[in-house]
Every structure is written in C-alpha cells, then in structure tokens.
Amino acid sequence: MSRPTVYVLSDSIGETAEHVAKAVASQFPATDFRYRRIPYISDHADIDEVIRRASEQPSILIYTLVTRQLKTYLDEQAAARGLTAIDLMNPLMKAFSDTFSLEVGSEPGGMRKLDDDYFRKISAIEFAVRYDDAQDPSGILKADLVIVGVSRTSKTPLSMYLAHQAYKVTNIPLVPEVPVPDELYEVPPERCVGLIINPEKLNNIRQERLKTMGLRPDSDYARFDRILGELEYAEKIMKRLGCPVIDVTARAVEETAHYILDTLNIERRTL
C-alpha cells in the first residue's frame, strides 16, 4: 500500500503549512506520512500537476494560498477528484477581518517581505557562521550571547537556532590544551552561558561521530577519562566566568534555546 502523502501547497515557501501538517501528523505515530511541499504556486498548471499526482495515491492537500483565484480553482479541482483540501489561511484571515474590521490583503509571501526583521535575522545568521567555533575571537564582545562548552554539546546548532531568532551568537569550544580567548573574560555573565552534558551520553555521541568520520572508536576524542577531564576543565572555566550552566543531556536544541533565553532573562523575539 502506498504511504499516505501530504501535499503542501503555497504561493510562498510553504514552511508554515508544513509545520502545521507535521504537528498534526505527530498525533498519529503509527503512520509513516510522506510530505511533498510545492512552493510558489502561481497558476492553474501548477495546481493541475499536484491534483494529478495526488489522485494516484492516498493523499490530503493542505494549502496557504492568498490569491483568491488560485484558492477557488484548487478547491474546485480537489472536489472534482474526491480529494480533501484544507485551507489553513483564509478562515483565520476572515476571523481577523470580521473581528477587527480590517480589509484582507492579497499579497503572496507577505510573511517573507524584506523588512527590518528579515535583515536583522540574516545579519545574525551571517554573524553565527563567521564567529562559529572561535574562528574569530573579535566576535565575542560583539555578540548578544556567548555559548561555551566542550565538543559535541550542540553549541553550533544552538547558535544557528538562535540566529534564526535574530540573536547574534558566538560559541567557544573549551579544550584543556587550548587557552580560551582573553575577550571571553570581559563578557558580562548575563551574556554568557555554559553547556554541560552527562559523560556517558557524551561518550556515546563522540563514538558515533568517530564512526561517521571513519576513525577508530578508541581515539582519544572518545576516551572516557579524556571526557571526564574535559568536563572538569570546562566547569572550572564556567565557574570563573560566573555564567549560568545548563545541562543539555536530555534537551532538544529548541528546548535548550528557550531555556537559555529564560535563564538569562533575554526578551524573546518573534519574527
């Protein structure tokens, strides 16, 4: 039997609709859904192709189409083929319009307009890439947030996640043989956070990392006594910095990021 397929159509990128679809699908853990995102829908031909493909397998269509003509055409074609098509945008847009007495616009991709927030986010992402992993210590005093920790504690993923929220973040690896940059000790504690992790968990992560790199699992990088030494060294540095310390052992990157913002009392940014 074909896998149930969710077609996500949008006249923009379609990320919002796909996130909603996956959130709903997570309530059906026994089913392995397949997702097909079709961005930048601009004419009837685009819709016809999706309808044709969706008719060949168990499918549902969800969409965020602002242009009324495209929305109407999709609804008609889906109904003609007996397909379920769910409009994620227009019911909420109507509620806004009716409740607040507002006129509905019809600008596709309006959420992605090049406004100040957009450029602020792009600047933060570029900052995170440039100053990742202590490549350039000059970024330490320019950052909104400095993350420190031993290797494989998700410093880079955290930096990038927070960058997408428009925070300029740099991260510094703590390695016993490598002195930390002097600039690190000039950072106020409220702009710095240290990451720690359970040594057994870190040992497993590093062994898997070595496998993917084709290296021996008994390398110093994954030796348990080496890991204990690194964590002890890192905790000494964090104590000297006076920064909050967060255990990331059982935390997802998103959860850790939110916890950091709450711990440091940093205002959340919604873009």
- Report the interhelical angle of 44-54 vs 68-80 (nearest 10°): 30
**Shared domain check, 128 and 71:** no
Per residue in 20-65, pLDDT (tens digit) is 999 999 999 999 999 999 988 989 999 999 999 999 999 999 999 9
List the 245-247 sheet strands across, edge first.
Answer: 169-173, 145-149, 192-196, 245-247
* Residue 237 lies in domain: 114-264
Q: How confident is the model at residue 107 (pLDDT cuts 50, 70, 90)?
A: low
Q: What is the pLDDT of residues 189-244, one digit of tens each?
A: 999 999 999 999 999 999 998 988 888 877 899 999 999 999 999 999 999 999 99
Strand order, beta sheet including 34-38: 34-38, 5-10, 59-64, 84-87
Last residue of a domain, one of 96, 122, 147: 96
**CA–centroid distance for 236 within its chain:** 31
- Residue 101 included in any domain: no
CA–CA separation, 231 and 155 (whole Å): 15
- On whether both 246 and 139 belong to a single domain, the answer is yes
Stated pTM of the model: 0.62
Q: Is 170 annotated as a binding residue?
A: no
Q: Is 211 annotated as a binding residue?
A: no
**φ/ψ (deg, to 5) at 6:** -110, 115
**pLDDT value for 50:** 96
pLDDT of 271 reads 46
- Is residue 77 domain-shared with residue 160, that is, in the same domain? no
User: Could you tell me if 46 and 127 lie in one domain?
Assistant: no
22 a known binding residue? no
Q: Is 137 part of any domain? A: yes
Q: What is the pLDDT at residue 12? A: 81
Give the Cα separation of 209 and 204 in Å (integer). 9
Query: Which band of pLDDT confidence, cut at 50, 70 and 90, is reported for residue 119?
Result: confident
For the residues of 21-33, what is the DSSP string, one character each?
HHHHHTT-TTS--
**C-beta separation of 49 from 77 below 8 A:** no
CATH number for the domain harbouring residue 63? 3.40.50
Q: In 3-state terms, what secondary structure has residue 247? A: strand
130 & 225 share domain: yes
How far apart are the C-alpha atoms of 45 and 89, rounded to whole Å?
A: 22
Mean pLDDT (the chain) is 90
Structure tokens at 32: 């392995």
The residue-averaged pLDDT of 244-262 equals 93
Average pLDDT estimate for 253-257: 93
Side-chain-side CA neighbours of 22 within 13 Å: the count stands at: 10
151 labelled binding-site residue: yes
- Give how many domains the chain has, as a whole number: 2
Nearest of 165, 127, 164, 126 to residue 146 by alpha carbon: 127
Q: Is 138 known to sit in a ligand binding site?
A: no
Q: Is residue 236 part of a domain?
A: yes
Q: Is 5 annotated as contributing to ligand binding?
A: no
Do residues 20 and 71 both lie within one domain? Answer: yes
Q: How far apart are CA 6 and CA 260, in angstroms?
A: 34
Instruction: Tell me the average pLDDT across 88-116.
Output: 75
Whether residue 260 sits in one domain with residue 169: yes
**Does residue 80 share a domain with residue 154?**
no
113 known ligand binder: no
- Please indicate, yes or no, whether residues 130 and 62 belong to a single structural domain of this protein: no
Give the Cα separation of 2 and 201 in Å (integer).
38
| E strands present in 174-217 | 192-196
253 and 126 in a single domain? The answer is yes
pLDDT at 104 over 80: no
Looking at the fold, whether 118 and 218 belong to one and the same domain comes out as yes
**Tokens 């992605």 identify what position?**
112
Does residue 37 belong to any structural domain of this protein?
yes
SS3 assignment, position 11: coil
